[in-house]
């Protein structure tokens, strides 16, 4: 955030369209405390696009999709990074900043994709498909990344797969992302059976019903959705790509087939666009609150640590991705 000493009182105007005035006093005290603690501790807050608007618009210093958070984590000069997002994002920030303190406000902020695969699973896939490179979605533990050749995000998966110059890759663990990328490339993709518990719940029928109820609506879907859902959408892309699409195309009516806070956060910048809001909540992202961000800074918790030997290998996979 820029400007001189913002406070909860001056920040409300940023979110007044998505947070009722009557709710604001609940947030104000924590916001002022977090702004003070960031200065005292030389800390920055990195927030994913699925964080609630009072976090995203009022206390975060850097916001974005998984790829942007990884890239920008490398440029951080502060001593402390608070990751307002899920655990794999905090691990990625730590991999790229081994000397800094990285805090995650709630250790339970996991991810169904990260939980769907273990390092042993990756080793077994390598045995089954000898010599085939392993492309691992960033939505995985550092231990799984350490077994991989290169990472990818939903924002660069096609480019990463094609950068390897091979006819066949193993792409873990999101089956739907793998299928959606396979539809865009000649590279053969061997997938795993992991799914995002938020995006797997959308159906093609949902989209058809939306189009009937809201004529002319532009449908943007995240590529973690099943391929049949992506096929019904006008565009599929990472959370940042969806946000960029709205800014570039300025559709009169739009629906974001993804997590609920996306529409809240993006709509703030486009008062003339009508956002249709069926969505699914990510229970992991929603574990992060102003209260536990404040506690994280006050009590220096929860410090993210990664075994150093494993971190070297996992960092390599992330750095290879960032070089693509």
Q: Cα–Cα distance between 200 and 319 in angstroms, integer? A: 29
Contact residue for ligand SF4 among 51, 52, 112, 154 (CB under 6 A): 112
Q: Can you tell me the distance from the alpha carbon of 69 to that of 62, in angstroms, rounded to the nearest whole number?
A: 7
Residue with tokens 């290879």: 320
Q: Which stretch binds ligand SF4 (CB under 6 A): 94-102, 124-132, 227-235, 281-289?
A: 281-289
Q: Does 282 bind ligand SF4 (CB under 6 A)?
A: yes
ω into residue 302 within 30 of 0, thus cis? yes
If the CB atoms of residues 128 and 201 are measured against ligand 13P, the closer one turns out to be: 201
Q: What are phi and psi of 311, to 5 degrees?
A: -60, -35
Dihedral, CA atoms, 65, 105, 143, 75, nearest 10 degrees?
Answer: 50
Question: Pick from 86, 125, 150, 314: which binds ligand SF4 (CB under 6 A)?
Answer: 86
Q: Which residue is associated with the tokens 């369209």?
A: 17
Alpha helix ranges (H) inside 175-226? 175-182, 204-213
Q: How far is the CB of 212 from ligand SF4 (least distance, A)?
A: 27
User: Does 196 contact ligand SF4 by CB under 6 A?
Assistant: yes
If one asks whether residue 180 binds ligand SF4 (CB under 6 A), the answer comes out as no
Report the partner that residue 284 touches, choosing among ligand SF4, ligand 13P, none (CB closer than 5 to 8 A by kind).
ligand SF4
Residue 110 vs 119, nearer CB to ligand 13P: 110
Answer whether the bond into residue 31 is a cis peptide, omega within 30°. Answer: no
Which residue's CB is nearer to ligand 13P, number 147 or number 224? 224
Residues of this chain that bind ligand SF4 (CB under 6 A): 86, 111-113, 139, 196-198, 224, 259, 282, 284-285
């Amino acid at each position: 955030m820029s400007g001189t000493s913002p406070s909860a009182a001056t920040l409300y105007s940023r979110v007044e369209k998505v947070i009722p005035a009557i709710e604001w006093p609940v947030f104000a005290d924590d916001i002022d405390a977090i702004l003070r603690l960031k200065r005292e501790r030389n800390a920055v807050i990195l927030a994913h696009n699925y964080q609630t608007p009072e976090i995203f618009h009022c206390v975060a210093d850097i916001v974005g999709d998984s790829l942007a958070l990884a890239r920008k984590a490398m440029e951080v000069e502060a001593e402390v990074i608070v990751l307002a997002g899920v655990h794999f994002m905090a691990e990625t920030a730590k991999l790229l900043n081994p000397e800094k303190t990285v805090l995650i406000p709630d250790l339970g902020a996991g991810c169904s994709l990260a939980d769907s695969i273990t390092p042993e699973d990756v080793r077994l896939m390598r045995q089954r498909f000898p010599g085939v490179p392993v492309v691992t979605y960033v939505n995985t533990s550092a231990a799984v990344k350490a077994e991989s050749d290169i990472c990818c995000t939903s924002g660069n998966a096609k480019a990463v797969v094609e950068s390897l110059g091979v006819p066949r890759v193993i792409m873990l663990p999101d089956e739907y992302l793998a299928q959606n990328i396979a539809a865009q490339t000649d590279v053969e993709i061997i997938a795993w059976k992991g799914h995002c518990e938020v995006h797997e719940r959308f159906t093609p029928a949902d989209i058809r019903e939306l189009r009937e109820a809201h004529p002319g609506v532009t449908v943007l879907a995240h590529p973690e959705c099943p391929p049949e859902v992506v096929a019904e959408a006008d565009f599929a892309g990472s959370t940042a790509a969806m946000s960029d699409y709205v800014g570039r195309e300025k559709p009169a009516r739009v629906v974001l087939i993804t997590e609920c806070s996306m529409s809240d956060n993006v709509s703030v910048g486009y008062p003339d666009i009508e956002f249709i809001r069926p969505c699914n909540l990510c229970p992991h992202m929603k574990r992060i609150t102003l209260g536990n961000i404040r506690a994280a800074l006050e009590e220096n918790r929860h410090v993210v640590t990664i075994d150093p030997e494993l971190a070297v290998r996992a960092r390599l996979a992330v750095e290879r991705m960032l070089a693509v």
